[in-house]
Amino acid sequence: MYAFNYHKPKTLAEAQALIGKLPEGKLLAGGHTLIPTLKQRLAQPSDLIDIGGIAELKGLTVTASAVTIGAGTRHDEVARSAEVKKAIPALALLASGIGDRQVRARGTIGGSLANSDPAADYPGAVLGLGATVHTTKRTIKADDFFKGMFETALDEGEIITKVEFPVPKRAGYMKFANPASRYVMVGSFVAETAGGIRVAINGAGPCAFRWAEAEKALAAKFAAASVEGLKHKADGLNSDIHASAEYRAHLITVMTKRAVAQAGG
Amino acid sequence: MATVSITVNGNKVSRDVEPRTLLVQYLREHLGLTGTHVGCDTSQCGACVVHIDGASVKSCTTLAMQCEGASVTTIEGLAKDGKLHPMQEAFREHHALQCGFCTPGMIMSAVDLVEKNPGLTEDDIRHGLEGNLCRCTGYHNIVKAIAAASKTMGR
Ligand SMILES: Cc1cc2nc3c(=O)[nH]c(=O)nc-3n(C[C@H](O)[C@H](O)[C@H](O)COP(=O)(O)OP(=O)(O)OC[C@H]3O[C@@H](n4cnc5c(N)ncnc54)[C@H](O)[C@@H]3O)c2cc1C
Ligand code: FES
Ligand code: FES
């Protein structure tokens, strides 16, 4: 790791002021993406601004219409929340499958979304449920948030404060996890929402994306059989040592079918 | 340099360290607590697991500075008055180790798993160990030991 200065602001306003005047600085949340990156010397921030002590970013609230999760809330808290399990079981299930128990004890939803790792879980739920990402500057709709591999709509120094997930009529999430790392090779988040059917695919492409063809088929009939005959094209999907683009395309159908079945379709 | 104060195994300690110091370095190099191991240094293996404020975490993926004011328990802090913790005792009894390199992290993860989850099934235990790798035992005896400790710990 290269050397850096360390700051631990107590409020969001302080954090924002710091990141504003430290152009080479970086926010540190759970550190479970950033610290491994620093250890490999793949980044060299001048300063780390640890937002782990900011109470405003923590916790979750559940109402009849939405689950709102503070950016600094750890995966484990979402996975274990009885209220989240009741309101959006697929979201709690997704959180309970991120990495391992130790990763879930530190990693946060804000860090996961800001990073937009193609193999991350949360982007599936954000896009699948049509969530709204709140930041220190504005609100960003899920459909506008993910821009590419490790790329989001966030500006330099913009801090995610919370994520608001509308409660769907029903939803399901299935992933094919890499057998060694447990990271997503292909995941499918299917939801019947007030605005219609949404199908978000993570792990397969540079960032999470919606699968329009499956949405249409499921809108006609919400049943696993509706997606059986569909095949996503392999063009543009990730191809690496873990899986070829063709294999990922195949898994998109399989995971979507299983997600629909999990949602009761 | 910055001063980091942490309560480690019940004792309040302070050390001047560089901000880039990992918790595992703080424990091993600054406090001489070498029971916590570094197996991979890439956040995968769990040999470095300790408890921070009651949660099992990978100390190779945590900065010491993030733990300012926190309470940390390492493998050295489990035995009380010369008596092994029930989990340590179960690992000994069930031959849950061979080379022993993974054992400190395995035991710290296991204690946290059992304390938070009453009535663990074998499946729960295997899934609960996803963050800990063992290259020797094949896990069978580790799972047996944890199941046994779950009973002796009254869970
Ligand atoms: C062994 C291992 C296995 C894992 N497996 C999985 C898995 O299966 N699925 C999965 O989804 N993830 C997995 N992860 C990643 C894990 O979920 C990370 O914790 C998460 O992606 C990043 O969250 P963090 O809080 O640790 O962020 P950090 O590492 O602290 O930060 C990540 C990035 O986000 C930025 N950032 C953090 N918070 C904010 C914010 N509020 N606003 C704006 N920018 C912010 C930081 O500046 C940094 O660039 C794994 C990690 C490890 C180490
Ligand atoms: S040394 Fe920390 S996870 Fe391997
Ligand atoms: S006993 Fe050797 S690595 Fe587990």
pLDDT tens for the 155 residues of chain B, in order: 899 999 999 999 999 999 999 999 999 999 999 999 999 989 999 999 999 999 999 999 999 999 999 999 999 999 999 999 999 999 999 999 999 999 999 999 999 999 999 999 999 999 999 999 999 999 999 999 999 999 999 88
Q: Least CA distance to B58: which residue of chain A?
A: A102
- Smallest CA-to-CA distance from A135 within A121, A104, A114 is with A114
Beta-carbon contacts of residue B151 (< 8 Å; ≥ 6 apart): none
Q: What is the mean pLDDT of chain B?
A: 97
pLDDT confidence of residue B41: 87
Q: What Rg, from alpha-carbon coordinates, does chain A have?
A: 18
Angle (deg, nearest 10), helices A89-96 and A122-129? 160
A143: left (phi over 0), alpha (psi -120 to 50) or beta: alpha
Q: Which residue has the tokens 């880039």?
A: B20
CA–CA gap between residue A96 and residue A175 (Å, rounded): 12
Q: What is the pLDDT of residues A64-88, one digit of tens each?
A: 999 999 999 999 999 999 999 999 9
Q: What is the pLDDT of residues A3-40, one digit of tens each?
A: 999 999 999 999 999 999 999 999 999 999 999 999 99
- CATH fold for the domain made of B2-77: Ubiquitin-like (UB roll) (3.10.20)
CA–CA gap between residue A129 and residue A142 (Å, rounded): 8
- Smallest CA-to-CA distance from A152 within A161, A162, A142 is with A142
- CATH fold for the domain made of B86-153: DNA polymerase; domain 1 (1.10.150)
CA–CA gap between residue B36 and residue A184 (Å, rounded): 30
What is the distance in angstroms between the Cα of B89 and the nearest Cα belonging to chain A?
23
Q: Which ligand is closest to the CA of B138, given by its number?
A: 3
Extents of the domains making up chain B: 2-77, 86-153
Q: Nearest by CB to A102, from B56, B63, B68: name it.
A: B56
- The reported pTM is 0.97
CA–CA gap between residue A158 and residue A2 (Å, rounded): 24
Q: Nearest by CB to B66, from A50, A102, A105: name it.
A: A50
Which one-letter DSSP state was computed for residue A203? S
Q: Which residues pair with A166 in a beta bridge?
A: A66
pLDDT below 70 — which residues of chain A?
Answer: none
Judge whether A76 and A98 are in contact, CB under 8 Å: no
- Smallest CA-to-CA distance from A111 within A43, A169, A31 is with A31
pLDDT confidence of residue B155: 82
pLDDT confidence of residue B29: 98
CA–CA gap between residue A32 and residue A74 (Å, rounded): 11
CA–CA gap between residue A184 and residue B2 (Å, rounded): 38
CA–CA gap between residue A201 and residue B18 (Å, rounded): 42
Ligand 2 atom with the smallest distance to the CA of A102 is 3
Judge whether A78 and A84 are in contact, CB under 8 Å: yes
